[in-house]
Structure 1
Amino acid sequence: MIRRRAQKALLAWDPVNPRIARLRLKGRFPNISIITVYAPTRVATDADKDSFYSDLEITMQKCPKRDFLILAGDWNSRVGPTDPNIHHIVGPFTYGQRCSNGDRLLQFVRSHNLFITTTIFS
């Protein structure tokens, strides 16, 4: 699933579950940890959502602290219009009205001092 050049840099591949996978690549400095996700949809049970974020938390703990971390995938959420309380997390461009999954995502992002950089619409 990755190009030959990237295969040479492969340090770790961890398919955690059907919703989460971790890839670690050798970088010049630092190494790169990429976690891909497919978050539960809004109709999933709260138990499924809690399990997803718990598994994601454990997966992130496996990433060395010095690695450049990228979390990417389908979060199945909308964080809604920017307000002053979250502007530093999502920037000026958001879409739709915030949903419960958006609340979960924002809580997760805040707790890890992360930020949301790109939203792609198809």
Structure 2
Amino acid sequence: MDKGERPDDETNIDVMFRNGNLTVFGIVLAFSLGFLNTWTNNPNDWQITDLPTLALIGGGIVFQGSALWRLLQLDSLRPSVFATGNRRFAIGLGMTSIGMMLAICVDIGHMLL
């Protein structure tokens, strides 16, 4: 089946439902970018132990941004496309959350040592 084709039994997602997801995705992405900005401007010196945190937060932001971009496409009302965007966002949110918790743990570790 071509990418452009869709099964006859696939009904579109309601526009209002998708718009709610777009709003949430945008707000969480902005929060993630804000956290990354604040964390990178931390007065502590950068160490090699900060690289996994940076990779997790950066990777999570990429997934969140790609999910937002996916839901902005014209075909995003198709359930399969909508589900793909939601899955990307969930992966990005998980990665970013783990990265934020790791950043806090690493900073606490630096203060204690």
Higher helix share: 2
TM-score (norm 1): 0.27
TM-score (norm 2): 0.29
Considering Cα pairs closer than 8 Å and 6+ residues apart, tell me whether 1 or 2 has the greater RCO: 2
